[in-house]
Amino acid sequence: MRIVDAHVHVWDADAVPIPWFRDDLGLPRQAAAARLAQELADAGVSSAIAVQAADSVAEAEWLTATAARDPYLRRVVLQYTPAPGRAAGATAVAFSPAVVGVRAAVPQYAADLSDVDGLDALADHLGATARTLELLIRPDQLPAAAALSRRHPDTAIVVCHLGLGARTADAAWLSALAEAASAPGVSAKVSGLDFAARGADESRELLRSAFALFGAERLMYGSDWPMSTRTTTYAEVLAATRQALPPLSPAEARAFWSGTADRLSPFTA
């Protein structure tokens, strides 16, 4: 089964500063593409999509140039920082065909995302250029992802980490996820969920719910490397994801492991 990892990060904190990086986070200062390539090859993963870790133009240029040289990456998602008067999508969106989307990391904003400057303009721009809009959001912001999708039906919207991340998969999250999934233009990444810490039973129930709401054609695998490998290995992240999956048909398995990512983020270079 061909596998695309739809959510990894690469960086070099010495070459290009990462504002949030601290040595006490347990992360490498160089999350190098070569190191990732070895992890992917060892796990039998064919390619990955790199998501920008911070938001500077210098880092975007570094990441895009890195991906252009790397046979496992080739596709990148850049970061959007809301700011009054900022041009839709940022200049970097257009500078390389390797850029397949832009992520708005906005969990600190209002539940309805109404205070995220330029978000609708960004969605318009990405839809017009056949790129995805990714959202890193809180569970209570998930209904806003559905509302945004309905305002921009030509824009593919992808929710990172099932809108959950390290939080508890409670009834409020499930209800909000159901609202997000009710908009057909919204998909999600099964990433950043730390299945090892959650345990097998909770992990299986979490993914059973996600597949029931979205279907395999709107879900995709992501490792969140190297964030996810502070306490485990890449191979263990992949194995835990496999173990948490509900029974899938061959077509559903192809969609989850590679088809959704390829459809939403096609490589055009």
- Indicate whether 83 pLDDT > 70: no
Cis peptide before 153 (omega within 30 of 0): no
Within a 10 A sphere around the Cβ of 266, how many other Cβ atoms? 12
Share of the chain above pLDDT 70, in %: 94
With 0-12 / 13-18 / 19 or more C-beta atoms within 10 angstroms meaning exposed / middle / buried, residue 117 is middle
Per DSSP, the three-state class of 228 is: helix
Residue 268 predicted with pLDDT over 90: no
pLDDT at position 82: 81
11 contacts 31 by C-beta, under 8 angstroms: yes
> pLDDT for 139-190, tens place per residue?
999 999 999 999 999 999 999 999 998 788 899 999 999 999 999 999 999 9
The pLDDT value recorded for residue 166 is 75
Q: What is the pLDDT of residue 266?
A: 83
- The pLDDT, as a whole number, for residue 55 is 86
Q: Decide if pLDDT at 90 tops 60.
A: no
pTM of the entire structure? 0.94
- pLDDT band, very low/low/confident/very high, at 88 (cuts 50, 70, 90): very low
pLDDT of 87 > 50? The answer is: no
34-45 pLDDT tens trace? 999 999 999 999
Cα–chain center distance at 24: 24
pLDDT at 231: 82
Which structure tokens are listed for 178? 């159901």
Q: How high is the pLDDT of residue 267?
A: 66
What's residue 92's pLDDT?
A: 47
Place 89 in a pLDDT band, splitting at 50, 70 and 90: very low
Q: What value does the mean pLDDT of the chain take?
A: 92
Residue 95 is predicted with a pLDDT of 59
Per-residue confidence at 94, pLDDT binned at 50, 70, 90?
low
Q: Which of these, 48, 73, 39, 10, lies nearest to 235 by C-alpha position?
A: 39
Looking at the chain, the whole-number percentage of residues with pLDDT higher than 90 is 82
Beta strands across the sheet bearing 132-136: 4-8, 47-51, 75-80, 99-105, 132-136, 157-159, 186-190, 219-221
- What residues have CB less than 8 Å from 110, skipping those under 6 apart? 116
What is the residue type of 88?
A
What is the CA 36 to chain-centroid distance, rounded?
A: 16
Asked whether the predicted pLDDT for residue 242 surpasses 90, the reply is yes
pLDDT in tens, 181-223: 999 999 999 999 999 889 999 999 999 999 999 999 999 999 9
